[in-house]
């Protein structure tokens, strides 16, 4: 495949694997299918000049709702910014502004003297770059304070997708619809709320004053309330100044009835959960997460949150609408309500599980991201990599029941390896400039690879030295923008003090840091073992999925760990050797035994073995699987699927290795297995007989795990077991497992009759209940959806409703996605559910798109940064067969050639055709391999019946 096709394939893998199938970086924004990473020198013009800096902002914003008939949902602002010139001969002040109107501008010296502006061009707006250029008659004096005063007007965005100041809606306890206004500025949208230096480099102090109708008196911001007043039916609230921080961290919420729904007053400041009034009493779980993680970080960094600023709050906003999962605004984190309102009787385990990492992630940002900040979004990984690392590794220390240290592999390590195996991937440090490039860098490389790199580094230098380096970095750069060199200096200092790398001869930490941070990709380690002598030959090269790409000789410093049958040291995560060359020879005791490299898959690399060594591993996985750590069993699965795709292993040999899955019940092993099998079976969509036979093979491997996890949650089972059941049953029911379908349908009938169904199994119950049901079942679940008070259950119900086989019901469902009943942030996700629900649905979805494209563009917010309409139209192509692709392409070329989505949709059609061609060419080989790899598997009667039904239904 071409680089672009490989990237698109990886994107679709991530969609199929993720719990929310439209989120690659579940914390913030997903990667977009655009030319985000095409860099040209002239794109640096998007960056501000560095000749003027802001020191303090004093911002007053008057917000208007529907109390005015002319220009409702608007705001007027007046700001005074204290600025300094840091270079000579500055006669133009350039900052960002993306507001409707600039009404008035003045510049005043610190002595109160007006600075004359150019009479014929006081200022110039450059909308493409969001620049406001103020032209002066005389130059500013270096290091002297000036006050820049700007009056402006603008309009709230409708919904969260376009960021800035936006309005959302909710229903209160009486069922009355209410409107609220809040903000989402990361990464470049503070300029929509007030003109400013809207780059992370420019840190300043902000003082916020907010005015609203008197009934909108539930107003919150980053800092504590200093004073308030009421005048003429309006309320004004004045907040204390913030710490020195970047503009994207400013936030506020203006509402009628948001309130504190959970609080711990033993902290200074109190830790509060704030949400709509009818969620009172439902924020206790989020509060526990916030309290315990604040305690952890206070102790870990030895920089208590309470010492960061005297007026900074520790609030957590549960917002019905939010464009991302959470955003780290300092003092007032914003979250999608989905993750804040947790009730064990209503919340699916995957949401509860993820919520723990999310709160920890956002709290970690208080130090990594807010106290220190990457100087520019090219280094987003400094903010996001650390927050992602702590979101799992630190949270495990406080909430061990979630076993997050092990889930790190599927969440970040394996995601990074997969994403980084394409030709179009970029390094963690990568120059971005345009808004599209900036948005694109908030993705897998910054989050997943950044976190995995940090965990690998912590293993190398020990967690104790890693902690010391973090403290040095924070203390030495507090309240400042930081560069990758600053981070390097902190780690180099801690490593030198502790002698943390002295054990590795001739190892160069500078080179290690430089390569992993500044080079794209990851390596594959090829291991050839002479079992008679114990000699192990290791060779490395960059791993690429493309079978036609030229060999990349990039050498990565690889931390080597390994275990063997005679020395199963899987818990030893400190490298025994640092491999900094393309080849090396290591030795073990002579003897024929399995050897597995990369203990617990903590290193950012894949491993391939010689045939003999693979056979020894495969035999052990069947005969004595518990002798191999479950994370390394998961590693084998993850690597084998990648190696088969890259044609480094044949499917016959790969499936032989994977035959151990028939007795496997561990979540971490089945997670990459389901992902790998999903990728393959999706390439057989156009070959129903082949897909049915392949599905039967998969189900034969799943019989044992289905039997072990069962169809009902058990008392006191671990969250990981609950997640195993959720993923296994959802996948098994999708493949048509007879008992899974029967058990799920029976529970849906019970739900209709008033029986409570455990949320841990609702995903498969909802989906099967609707897929196998009629309009009666559809209307029942739709009514339940419309009356639910739980966002997480509503999302699961949308997934279920989308699974209907009835064309008219599916069109009803899709029409609902155009209404406010489906939140803006859920629309593209809900569209994708319709494609995932049934293979036959794609044709109906195409009909809906063709008949409603204008409404889709409006409802889904076409110009929102995540590009939801691009996502929807591109995903559609992946589910269509050739006849429908012809229809789709004809429609696109005849009616949509000038649309923003045309190029990406056409590219997706090409990718879809390539996937089908690949599936057709590989079908016989893969089915033959599946049969050979399962020669000893006894296929149950129910599976044979299921397979026959599947084939019949597809004829």
Task: Enumerate residues 6+ apart whose C-beta is below 8 A from 307.
Answer: none
Average pLDDT score over residue span 147-159: 97
Is the predicted pLDDT of residue 373 greater than 50, yes or no?
A: yes
Whether residue 4 has pLDDT greater than 70? no
The confidence score (pLDDT) of residue 222 equals 98
**Nearest by Cα to 193 from 224, 153, 237, 245:** 153
Q: How many Å apart are CA 332 and CA 330, to the nearest integer?
A: 6
pLDDT 10s digits, 451-473: 999 999 999 999 999 999 999 99
Q: Which two tokens stand for residue 580?
A: 């900094």
Inter-residue contact 356 to 365 (CB < 8 Å): no
Question: What pLDDT does residue 553 have?
Answer: 87
The Cα–Cα gap between 254 and 256 comes to 7
Residue keyed to tokens 């690879």: 449
Distance separating alpha carbons of residues 793 and 342, to the nearest angstrom: 10
Residue 797 has pLDDT above 50, yes or no: yes
Band of residue 569 on the pLDDT scale cut at 50, 70, 90: very high
Please provide the average confidence, as pLDDT, over all residues in the chain. 92
Residue 293: both structure tokens together: 């993680």
The helix or strand, by DSSP H or E, that contains position 954, with its residue range, turns out to be helix 941-954
pLDDT digits (tens, 9 = 90+) for 421-430: 999 899 999 9
Q: Residue 9: what pLDDT? A: 36
User: What are the backbone angles phi and psi of residue 579, rounded to the nearest 5°?
Assistant: -90, 110
Identify the band that residue 955 occupies on the pLDDT scale cut at 50, 70 and 90: very low
Q: Is the pLDDT of residue 147 over 50?
A: yes
In contact, 613 and 527? CB cutoff 8 Å:
yes
> In the predicted model, is pLDDT for residue 488 greater than 50?
yes
Helices (H), 1-47: 3-17
- pLDDT of 438 reads 93
For residue 934, what pLDDT is reported?
54
**Are residues 333 and 315 in contact, defined by beta-carbon separation less than 8 angstroms?**
yes
- In this prediction, residue 42 has a pLDDT band, given cuts at 50, 70 and 90, of low
The dihedrals phi and psi of 93, each to the nearest 5 degrees, come to -100, 120
Percent pLDDT > 70 in the chain is: 93
| Range of weakest confidence among 431-440, 522-531, 876-885, 915-924 | 431-440
Residue 290 has which token pair? 């916030």
Please say whether the dihedral angle defined by the alpha carbons of residues 939, 945, 948 and 954, taken in this order, is positive or negative.
Answer: negative
pLDDT for residue 799 is more than 70: yes
Domains, the chain, with CATH or none: 3-38+376-518 (1.10.390.10), 48-362 (2.60.40.1730), 523-638 (2.60.40.1910), 683-954 (1.25.50.20)
Strand partners of residue 264: 271
Count CA atoms within 13 Å of residue 655 on its CB side: 22
Cβ burial of 791 (10 Å; 0-12, 13-18, 19+) is: buried
C-beta separation of 455 from 393 below 8 A: yes
What pLDDT is stored for residue 15 in this prediction?
36
Inter-axis angle of helices 484-498 and 463-476, to 10 degrees? 130
Angle between helical axes of 630-645 and 667-682 (0-180°, round to 10) = 20
pLDDT of residue 932: 79
Residue 43 pLDDT class (50, 70, 90 cuts): low
Q: Which helix (H) or strand (E) holds 529?
A: strand 523-530
396: three-class secondary structure by DSSP: helix
pLDDT at 933: 58
> Over 80: is that where the pLDDT of 450 sits?
yes
915 pLDDT more than 90: yes
Is the Cβ–Cβ distance between 618 and 657 less than 8 Å? Answer: yes
Q: What is the pLDDT of residues 224-240, one digit of tens each?
A: 999 999 999 999 999 99
pTM of the model: 0.93
Residue range 674-726, pLDDT digits in tens: 999 999 999 999 999 999 999 999 999 999 999 999 999 999 999 999 999 99
Buried b vs exposed e over 199-225: b needs ≥16 C-beta within 10 Å? Answer: bbbbbbbbbbbbbbbeebbbbbbbbee
């Amino acid at each position: 495949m071409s680089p672009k096709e490989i990237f698109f394939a990886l994107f679709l893998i991530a969609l199929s694997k993720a719990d929310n199938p439209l989120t690659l970086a579940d914390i913030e924004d997903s990667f977009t299918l655009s030319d985000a990473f095409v860099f040209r020198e002239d794109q640096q013009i998007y960056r501000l000049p560095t000749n003027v800096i802001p020191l303090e902002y004093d911002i007053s914003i008057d917000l208007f709702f529907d109390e005015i008939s002319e220009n409702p949902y608007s705001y007027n602002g007046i700001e005074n910014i204290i600025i300094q010139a840091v270079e000579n001969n500055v006669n133009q002040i350039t900052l960002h502004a993306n507001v409707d109107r600039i009404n008035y501008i003045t510049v005043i010296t610190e002595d109160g003297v007006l600075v004359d502006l150019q009479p014929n061009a006081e200022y110039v707006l450059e909308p493409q770059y969001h620049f406001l250029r103020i032209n002066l008659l005389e130059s500013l004096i270096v290091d002297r304070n000036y006050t820049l005063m700007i009056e402006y007007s603008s309009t709230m965005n409708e919904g969260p997708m376009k960021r800035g100041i936006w309005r959302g809606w909710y229903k209160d306890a009486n069922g009355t619809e209410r409107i609220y206004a809040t903000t989402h500025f990361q990464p470049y949208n503070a300029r929509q709320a007030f003109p400013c230096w809207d780059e992370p480099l420019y840190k300043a102090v902000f003082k916020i004053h907010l005015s609203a109708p008197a009934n909108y008196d539930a107003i919150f911001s980053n800092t504590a309330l200093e004073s308030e007043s009421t005048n003429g039916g309006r309320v004004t609230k004045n907040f204390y100044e913030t710490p020195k921080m970047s503009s994207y961290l400013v936030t506020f919420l203006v509402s009628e009835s948001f309130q504190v729904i959970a609080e711990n007053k033993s902290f200074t400041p109190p830790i509060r959960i704030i949400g709509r009034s009818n969620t009172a009493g439902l924020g206790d779980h989020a509060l526990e997460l916030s309290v315990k993680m604040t305690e952890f970080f206070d102790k870990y960094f030895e920089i208590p949150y309470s010492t960061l600023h005297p007026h900074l709050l520790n609030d957590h906003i549960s917002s019905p609408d939010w464009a991302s999962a959470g955003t780290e605004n300092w003092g007032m984190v914003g979250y999608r309500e989905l993750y804040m309102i947790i009730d064990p009787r209503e919340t699916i385990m995957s949401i509860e599980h993820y919520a723990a990492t999310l709160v920890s992630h956002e709290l970690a940002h208080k130090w990594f991201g807010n106290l220190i900040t990457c100087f520019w979004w090219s280094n987003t990984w400094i903010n996001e990599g650390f927050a992602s690392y702590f979101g799992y590794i630190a949270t495990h220390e406080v909430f061990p029941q979630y076993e997050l240290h092990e889930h790190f592999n599927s969440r970040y390590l394996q995601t990074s390896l997969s994403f980084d195996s394409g030709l179009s991937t970029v390094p963690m440090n990568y120059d971005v400039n345009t808004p599209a490039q900036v948005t694109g860098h908030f993705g897998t490389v910054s989050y997943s690879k950044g976190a995995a790199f940090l965990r690998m580094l912590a293993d190398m230098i020990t967690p104790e030295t890693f902690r010391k380096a973090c403290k040095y970095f924070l203390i030495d750069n507090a309240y400042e923008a930081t560069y990758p060199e600053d981070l390097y200096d902190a780690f180099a200092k801690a490593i030198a003090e502790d002698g943390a790398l002295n054990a590795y001869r001739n190892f160069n930490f500078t080179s290690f840091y430089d390569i992993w941070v500044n080079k794209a990709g990851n390596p594959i380690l090829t291991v050839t073992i002479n079992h008679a002598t114990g000699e192990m030959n290791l060779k490395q090269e960059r791993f690429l999925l493309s079978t036609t790409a030229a060999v990349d000789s990039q050498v990565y410093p690889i931390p080597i760990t390994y275990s063997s049958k005679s020395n199963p040291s899987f818990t030893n995560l400190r490298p025994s050797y640092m491999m900094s060359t393309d080849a090396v020879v290591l030795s073990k005791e002579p003897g024929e035994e399995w050897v597995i490299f990369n203990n617990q898959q903590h290193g950012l690399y894949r491993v391939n073995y010689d045939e003999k060594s693979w056979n020894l591993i495969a035999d052990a996985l069947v005969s004595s699987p518990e002798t191999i750590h479950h994370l390394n069993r998961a590693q084998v699965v993850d690597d084998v699927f990648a190696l088969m795709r890259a044609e480094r292993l044949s499917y016959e040999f790969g499936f032989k290795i994977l035959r151990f899955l028939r007795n496997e019940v561990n979540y971490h092993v089945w997670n990459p297995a389901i992902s790998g099998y999903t990728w393959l079976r999706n390439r057989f969509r156009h070959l129903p007989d082949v897909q049915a036979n392949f599905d039967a093979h998969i189900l034969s491997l799943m019989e044992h795990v289905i039997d072990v996890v069962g169809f009902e949650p058990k008392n006191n089972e671990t969250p990981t077991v609950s997640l195993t059941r959720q993923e296994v049953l959802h996948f098994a029911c999708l493949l048509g497992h007879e008992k899974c379908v029967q058990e799920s349908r029976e529970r849906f009938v019970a739900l209709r009759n008033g029986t409570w169904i455990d949320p841990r199994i609702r995903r498969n119950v909802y989906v099967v209940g609707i897929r196998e049901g009629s309009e009666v079942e559809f209307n029942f679940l739709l009514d339940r959806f419309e009356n639910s008070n739980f966002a997480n259950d509503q999302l699961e119900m949308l997934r279920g409703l989308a699974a209907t086989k009835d064309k008219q019901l599916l069109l009803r469902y899709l029409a609902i996605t155009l209404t406010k009943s489906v939140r803006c942030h859920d629309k593209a996700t809900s569209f994708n559910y319709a494609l995932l629900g049934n293979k036959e649905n794609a044709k109906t979805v195409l009909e809906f798109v063709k008949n409603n494209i204008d409404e889709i563009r409006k409802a889904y917010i076409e110009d929102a940064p995540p590009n939801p309409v691009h996502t929807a139209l591109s995903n559609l192509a992946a589910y269509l067969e050739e006849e429908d692709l012809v229809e789709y392409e004809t429609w696109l070329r005849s009616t949509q050639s000038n649309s923003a989505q045309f190029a990406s949709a056409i590219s997706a059609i090409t990718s879809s055709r390539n996937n089908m061609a690949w599936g057709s060419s590989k079908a016989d080989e893969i089915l033959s391999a599946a049969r050979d790899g399962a020669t000893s598997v006894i296929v149950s009667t129910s599976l044979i019946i299921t397979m026959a039904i599947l084939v019949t239904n597809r004829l």
